[in-house]
Amino acid sequence: MNKIAVLGAGTWGTALARMLAVHGQDVTMWSALPQELESMAATRRHPNLPGMELPETMHYTPDLAAACAGRDLVVFAVPSVFVRQTAKKAAPCLPDGQLIVDVAKGIEEKTLLTMSEVIEAELAACPGHGHCRVAALSGPTHAEEVARDMPTLIVAAAKDEADAQAVQKIFTNPNFRVYTNTDRRGVELGGAVKNVIALAVGMALGLDYGDNAKAALITRGNAELARLGVAMGCQAATFAGLSGMGDLIVTCTSMHSRNLHAGMLMGRGMSADQARQEVGQVVEGINALPAARKLAKQYKVEMPIVEAVYGIVSGTLPARSAVASLMSRGLKSE
């Protein structure tokens, strides 16, 4: 049995915490919102995961130091915009060499760092942290299905293969198969940029375009992602795997997808803020969009779908006009 802290009580963190607890791990959940924890402890439910019951063995605390103390693994499951501040607060509570896994998907707009790189930066800035062990867990996964023990495949990525294998061993169970990869940046890039492409697919659906447009956006969106990744030093094969094409497919085709839902609402005429309000949960594609655009410019990579989505989200380009601009681009070989 491993002692595990899950930082963040959103749907994904809660689904993973439940899964780990069901399979014999000692799990403690932390949230910056004590009322979330009080509700889950009392009801053993999560409001956005209907039908899921949390095991009685799970623990809850609003005390970050207590959550982090003496853990074999600490899971960062807060939204991407809160990863840095959570890492900053947690760093003094963590021993040097603590194994950490990030499950949030995003790129920090100001620094253009992935979430695991943000955590490493905050650990490095805290005295006594000379050895960082930060992995990323990413792939085609919806919390709603993991919470119901449906078959799921995912990737644990770390610079050190041994750390990826340690995460693999802890998370693997009969319903949850974990692969390993040492291309951590590529795995995380796929998890962040696919949310932007899902917005584009949702916009096309909102405009009542069909499966042809959906397939084209998924395929060409993955090409944009792979071009950017290779320019950033990632492995091309990563973007053909679970954390690349796999994650892109599930996010662009499932009605569990917040990004797809938000895109559909914008395709029907809502603003980005209105779509966020209607979805009622974090829409990571909107958060990742400015950083993805900046990376494309920095690495001189052409990403027309990302650029079109940016125009729609920023309100400078109507959705139908954005599609027309993509269709009228100069012809090139695939």
Unique residue bearing structure tokens 């609003």: 62
Q: Is 194 a catalytic residue?
A: yes
User: Among the options 194, 214, 294, 300, which is catalytic?
Assistant: 194
How many residues are given for the chain? Answer: 334
Q: What is the 3-state secondary structure (H, E, C) of 119-138?
A: HHHHHHCCCCCCCCEEEEEE
| Residue 281 to residue 274: CA distance in whole angstroms | 12
Give the list of residues 6+ apart from residue 50 with CB closer than 8 angstroms, or none: none
| Residue 329 to residue 307: CA distance in whole angstroms | 13
Q: Say if residues 187 and 157 touch (Cβ distance below 8 Å).
A: yes
| Residue 175 to residue 123: CA distance in whole angstroms | 33
The pair of structure tokens assigned to 223 is 């090409």
Q: What is the 3-state secondary structure (H, E, C) of 80-120?
A: HHHHHHHHHHHHHHCCCCCEEEECCCCECCCCCCEHHHHHH
Under DSSP, is residue 37 helix (H, G, I), strand (E, B) or coil?
helix
Q: Say if residues 80 and 287 touch (Cβ distance below 8 Å).
A: yes
Unique residue bearing structure tokens 């070989």: 333
Q: Give the catalytic positions in this structure.
A: 194
